[in-house]
Structure 1
Amino acid sequence: MLPKSLILLAPLMLCAANWQDAVNSAVSATSTPKTTTSSSSTTSQSNATSGVKEALSLGAQQAVSLLGKEGGFLNNSAVKIPLPSSMKPVATAAEKLGGKSYVDDFVKTMNTAATKAVPKTASILSDTISGMSVEDANAIVKGSNTAATDYFKTKSGTKLLSAIMPIIKESISENQVMSSYQSLKEFAGGSSTTSSVSNNALVGQASSIAKGFGMGDAVPSGDESIEDYIGRKTLDGLFYMIAEKEKALRSNPLSSGSSIIQQVFGK
């Protein structure tokens, strides 16, 4: 026969065992959702990063492809590089004198230089995408319709400009940009159909503009050279095209044909 004291303790021991089982179950039930939540959050962040990178890649590839083909800038009114504003007086005078072809030729050479420079940006854009952090991706997903494009500008704008400038300078030489400008200047300043007074005025305008663009005397402080102007406009066109693709993907993720982009931007 069991001692009386053991008989009295048995119910208490049984209750303690049941209570411990309940505690263990509660702890297990509480900890499991945390693990699931943490795992879900990690997956969500990973998807966001992958989706943003893929969207950026699509935008960059399309922009470089469209702008880098023949006529990519010249035949696209949204990004076509116009005459610098300071050159418009001479261009207007030349057109009035029947020299529109000189103006068109100069504009064409500038846009051709930009087109030749664009492919150089592809590797830098790719490196920028590869270096994106989870924080960057999350900020882009939650940002404006051009948040990804703005990321490109901030992270790679300076590198892109440095990369394309040698190509632009080389292209300017190959496509005779300066020669085209000189022809325009000479036509506007030397046409026999104008009076000597008009000739002098046009030559004066051309001379002033030539100085402003580094053709002739040294460029005055604060003025932009023709190479810098084309370089800046080249990047403006590149970022414009990337932004247009980004806005399209955000408004209609299904058009991308990518499940990860649809998942990230289709929310």
Structure 2
Amino acid sequence: MKKTAITCLLVSFLLSACGGLQEVINQASQQTTQTQIGQTQIANGLKEALQLGVSKQVSELTTNNGFYANELVRITLPEELQQVEKTLRSVGLGSLADQGIKALNETASQAVKEATPIFVQAISNLTITDAKQILMGANNAATQYLEKQTANQLYDKFSPIIQESFTKVGADKVWAELITTYNQIPLVKKVNPDLTNYVTQQAMNGVYTMIEQEEVDIRTNVANRSTILLKSVFALQDNK
């Protein structure tokens, strides 16, 4: 009888201990799941913010005069050509200089149309670890991430498009006339600039500038957090 009683007590104790252990395991599992969901929401919130920047701001750059009419990203002449512009205006050829500048901006708008798929891929690659660092980082941390992930691809994509666009928008003829006219002016130092490389770099700068504008707006202005996800995720940043 004693053996049976002792055995029963041991069984009861073990069952009780196992039940308690299982409860602890369940609670730990639930906490892990909740933490994981929170981290996933952070990643999704940052992806949504970047997607907004791309869809809203970058698409505007592809519209008519998207670069030229935007003072933040308008492409002006490179330093070595500023003397060209000044000289042409001084001899009454300001309209030709204006045409040349506008043509550069039009080629950039053409190239940016090809940017979205590259950005979409980079955004989809954003990890939970990336997201946590970005959320608590600088006001342009997400843009910096995107630039790091896409700069090389964008340059490779933009450069041939811009070269082709020079012909498409007539910029090649405008600049051929502009440079030829300038080089015929007595005593000037002749120029032959690499405008494809210059406009490619400027187009990329413009894209990142506009995405950064959207990111800063979302981070600093609660009213610009247009979805529940953005509101909840960036509220964490507000309290850092």
Structure 1 length-normalised TM:
0.80
In structure 1, the partner of 2:76 is 82
Which of 135, 141, 149 is the matching residue for 2:143? Answer: 149
Number of aligned pairs?
A: 236
SS at match of 2:114: helix
Q: Letter of the aligned partner of 1:247 in structure 2?
A: V
* Distance in 1 (alpha carbons) for counterparts of 2:137 and 2:40: 17
> Does the 8 Å CA contact 1:71/1:112 hold for their aligned counterparts?
yes
Coordinate RMSD, CA, aligned? 2.2
Which of 1, 16, 37 is the matching residue for 2:31? Answer: 37
Q: Letter of the aligned partner of 2:202 in structure 1?
A: K
Q: Letter of the aligned partner of 2:157 in structure 1?
A: A
In structure 2, the partner of 1:239 is 208
* Distance in 2 (alpha carbons) for counterparts of 1:19 and 1:43: 36
Which of 220, 229, 240 is the matching residue for 1:260? Answer: 229
SS at match of 1:120: coil
* Distance in 1 (alpha carbons) for counterparts of 2:233 and 2:88: 53
In structure 1, the partner of 2:186 is 200
In structure 1, the partner of 2:174 is 180
In structure 2, the partner of 1:93 is 87
How far off is 1:38 after superposition? 0.8
> Does the 8 Å CA contact 1:97/1:188 hold for their aligned counterparts?
no
Q: Does 1:167 align with 2:161?
A: yes
Which of 53, 56, 61 is the matching residue for 1:67? Answer: 61
Distance 1:9 1:77, change over 3 A: same
Q: Percent identity?
A: 23
Q: Letter of the aligned partner of 2:109 in structure 1?
A: T
How far off is 1:158 after superposition? 0.9
In structure 2, the partner of 1:216 is none
Q: Letter of the aligned partner of 1:141 in structure 2?
A: L
Structure of higher CA gyration radius: 1
How far off is 1:133 after superposition? 2.3
- 105-114 vs 252-261, which moves further: 252-261
* Distance in 2 (alpha carbons) for counterparts of 1:60 and 1:103: 31
Q: Letter of the aligned partner of 1:182 in structure 2?
A: A
Gaps of 5+ in 2: none
> Does the 8 Å CA contact 1:169/1:227 hold for their aligned counterparts?
yes
Structure 2 length-normalised TM:
0.88
* Distance in 2 (alpha carbons) for counterparts of 1:164 and 1:243: 20
